[in-house]
Amino acid sequence: MILLTGGTGFLGGAFYLDAVRNGNGADYMLLVRGADEAACRARLATNLNRHSDRETADAAARLCQILPGDLQSLATSTDPRLDQVTKIVHIAADTSFDSRQSVWEINVDGTLALAGRARKMKHLQRFLHIGTAFCCGEAPHMQMVKEAPAASHTAPHIAEYTRSKAATEHALAAAFQDLPIVVARPSIVVGHTKLGVRPSASIFWYYRLIDRTGLLPCTPDGFIDIIPVDWATARLHDLLNKPDLKHKLYHVSAGEGARTTWTEFEKGFAAHGHEGQRPYTRFDHKGPEGWKPFDAAFRAAFPERTLLNRTMAVGARKYHRFIAQDIAFDNSRLLAEGFAPPPRFIDYLGTCLASSDATIGEQFVDDASSFEFDEALMAAPVAA
């Protein structure tokens, strides 16, 4: 029995459908939040339908076992099926970029509850914990980040989310050395090589926004580390299934070979006829003008002062801070295991663009809940 958390999310849904396609969906038990098993299966089917047709999604949602509940409930769960678990794939997290107490309660306390219950699983062979490559903290102008212990939670972090993910890794290492934990840290997961952004437009709206505004928060000679969800989840299956892994920590990332330079990025959007502002220019949010160049470009591209646009500006600023670090994540450990290398973003950008005729703002809705701000902040002018 394989216990999967996060099956109603972007990566977790793709991961579970891989298992169904590989013929072992029935070996899975999914932890799903919901009032009862029927409600959980319905929520799962709705998510799987973003990655597949209705019939496939419904069949897949019927195939697995369901453990209704949340991560925190696992600490006290007496469900006997948990004693049969041989592998855990822990994908669930609060991925909100807004500063919230729940990122600590879910990402740290929830993971520790799962680990505490895992300790009682007599047959456990692997606990695959999904972290994030950005647990390295805010580190300006690094080039290629190698796998290393996460930055301290007291180090600078752009989002409380990455701080909580760093703290989770430290807590697991400190208290659960006896568990067979392998940590996989994806970089930036965007779209699907065949389905484009149909499963989720998460973060894709932001890349379109860069092209639309023509403004980069970093040097045009730099690069970005983007991977598609189908490649990412296939590598998570590899990390789950290979018995003799050489390490306990892996970046799941584009790395040196498949990172995207901004020059390629700009050419790619132009080649696919995206409505953009080119050539791109650079602004430095830490420079004397601060965010003013961005605010002006944003207002020109999105003149309507709607709540959605204001929230999108807040979201774009946050992502700009991540991008301004100008970093990618070394994946040589992953490739040395013999796993398939990643495709480049540019190779499936056309599929992403063709898969949806939604506007940038409409696509932002997939991430809008990550940027919930109180009404007072929403009412404030976008320009700082």
Ligand X SMILES: NC(=O)c1ccc[n+]([C@@H]2O[C@H](COP(=O)([O-])OP(=O)(O)OC[C@H]3O[C@@H](n4cnc5c(N)ncnc54)[C@H](OP(=O)(O)O)[C@@H]3O)[C@@H](O)[C@H]2O)c1
The answer to whether the Cα torsion of 309, 310, 315, 316 is positive or negative is positive
Contact pattern from residue 91 through residue 130 relative to ligand X, giving x for each residue in contact according to CB under 6 A and a dash for the rest: xxxxx----------x---x-------------------x
* Contacting residue, 17, 30, 48, 71, with ligand X by CB under 6 A: 71
Judged by CB under 6 A, the chain residues 146 through 185 that form the site for ligand X are 165
233 binds ligand X (CB under 6 A): no
Asked if residue 270 lies in contact with residue 348, where contact means CB atoms within 8 angstroms, the answer is no
Whole-angstrom Cα distance, residue 339 to residue 199?
Answer: 24
299 near ligand X, rule: CB under 6 A: no
User: Which positions ≥6 away from 273 have C-beta within 8 Å?
Assistant: none
DSSP 200: -
Tokens of 173: 């290492």
Is residue 189 at the binding interface for ligand X, with CB under 6 A as the rule? yes
Residues pairing with 186 in the sheet: 252
By CB under 6 A, residue 188 contacts ligand X: yes
**According to the binding rule CB under 6 A, does residue 12 interact with ligand X?**
yes
Q: Is 10 in the site for ligand X (CB under 6 A)?
A: yes
Contact between 11 and ligand X by CB under 6 A: the answer reads: yes
Name the residue with tokens 């605010």.
Answer: 295
- Per CB under 6 A, 25 contacts ligand X: no
Q: Which is nearer to ligand X, 185 or 317 (CB)?
A: 185
| Cβ-based nearer residue to ligand X, 166 or 382 | 166
Q: Rounded distance, CA 308 to CA 367, Å?
A: 11
Would you say 216 and 276 are in contact if contact means Cβ atoms under 8 Å apart?
A: no
33 makes contact with ligand X (CB under 6 A): yes
Chain positions 206 to 225 lying near ligand X, rule: CB under 6 A, are none
By beta carbon distance, the residue nearest ligand X is 9
**Kind and range of the H or E run holding 3:** strand 2-5
| CB closer to ligand X out of 15 and 280 | 15
Q: CA 330 → CA 14, 148, 169, 327, distances in Å? A: 24, 11, 19, 10
Angle, vertex CA 56, rays to CA 53 and CA 59, nearest 5: 145
Residue from 3, 6, 49, 283 touching ligand X (CB under 6 A): that is 6
* Residue 280 interacting with ligand X (CB under 6 A): no
Which residues sit at the interface with ligand X, rule CB under 6 A? 5-6, 8-12, 31, 33, 70-71, 91-95, 106, 110, 130, 132, 165, 186, 188-189, 202
